[in-house]
Chain A
Amino acid sequence: MSDAEQVRQHVRVYLMMFLALAVLTIVTVTISYFRLPMTYAIPLAITVAAVKAGLVAGYFMHLISEEKVILYVLLLCASFFVFLMALPVSTETGIAPLWPLSGG
């Protein structure tokens, strides 16, 4: 199959992804009107956002069929990102002792 034909088939997927993203946006906004307690609202909103981000990265940015070298770069990047997010949470909850030298 030629490059152009492959892209022609992908166009339909792009439009489906657009619909999915629009629907998920409406879902996030609708959930916010329920005024759930933050312990439920935060994980729920972040999960929907992560699904949307996955669709954008996977299909619009073509990560789903990208070369391994790009995936390795992003894997390294993602591990640093998780560390960045874990730092403030650990300082507040104290469940992950990331500060062995603080003496506190």
Chain B
Amino acid sequence: MSTVVIPWQVKPHPLTGVTSGKLGIWLFLASEVMLFGALFSSYVLLRVGSPHEYWPRGVQAGLSVPIGTFNTLVLITSSVTMVMAWASLKMNQFAAFKRYFGATIGLGSTFLVVKAFEYGTKFHHGIFPWVGWPQPTDPSTFNALYFTLTGLHGLHVLLGVLAYLWFLFVGVRMWKTDPERFTGRIEICGLYWHFVDLVWIFLFPVLYLL
């Protein structure tokens, strides 16, 4: 049986100048921009159409700015460790790669634990996506948007962490057989992770501060 090889995995395509994987992840990220863009658009529509007294600032709705700031710094740090993991491979420093990549997974997990703590506190106080503000029966959609936007973002973080765990413990074997291709894969992992960080950079002020 013949093996099908996906072309231009390591060497850039002569027409585009990039590898197939890189072009693929950027097209995927473009679709992700549209996905989150539609939700941000809904946020703007619902917010500008809502009476002022039914739309809280994040603090009024029980969100903690220090916790949100901490999580923002955690994600920013994870972006740096991710780019350093890729840079380590480029410099042929495999031990450093494992440290930085492991740190990225750790920081991503920290973000999720903090988010779970925040969700738990909200649930404990009876705040769910279908609950209004300031009274539970009021027509505010703030909580629905908060849980939808942060939930979808959290799902992206979770999927990233799971994929990176696979790369750290299973996919890492490729470094011995095809280091250039493995480096390309980590670059793609990094692009996804930076995008997740980028979405949070907008979510944090929109939900917590404004």
Contacts and interface: CB of A to CB of B under 8 A. Distances in A.
B73 interface: yes
Contact of A14 (B23, B42, B87, B205): B87
A38 B209 CA distance: 11
A18 B80 CA distance: 7
B26 A56 contact: no
Interface residues of A, number: 48
A69 interface: yes
B51 to A, nearest CB: 13
Nearest to B195: A61
Interface stretch (B1-9, B32-40, B134-142): B32-40
A69 B198 contact: no
B83 A85 contact: no
B26 A74 contact: yes
A60 interface: yes
Interface string A13-25: 0110110011001
Given A28-B209, A70-B26, A74-B26, A60 B87 contact: no
Given A60-B194, A69-B17, A88-B48, A49 B76 contact: no
Contacts of B202: 46, 49, 53
Given A45-B209, A56-B197, A61-B191, A80 B37 contact: yes
A11 B16 CA distance: 27
B99 interface: no
Interface of A: 3-4, 7-8, 10-11, 14-15, 17-18, 21-22, 25-26, 28-29, 32, 38, 41-42, 45-46, 48-49, 52-53, 56-57, 60-61, 67-70, 73-74, 76-78, 80-81, 84-85, 87-89, 91-92
Interface of B: 12, 16-18, 22-23, 26-27, 30, 33-34, 37-38, 40-42, 44-45, 48-49, 65, 69, 72-73, 76-77, 79-80, 82-84, 87, 90-92, 190-191, 194-195, 197-198, 201-202, 204-206, 208-210
Given A17-B80, A46-B202, A61-B195, 10 more contacts: A11-B84, A14-B87, A41-B209, A42-B210, A49-B204, A69-B17, A78-B33, A80-B37, A88-B41, A89-B48
11 contacts: A14-B87, A18-B79, A22-B73, A45-B210, A61-B194, A70-B18, A73-B30, A85-B41, A85-B44, A87-B45, A88-B42
Top 9 closest A-B pairs, CB basis?
A88-B45, A67-B17, A32-B209, A45-B205, A77-B30, A7-B90, A92-B48, A88-B44, A84-B41
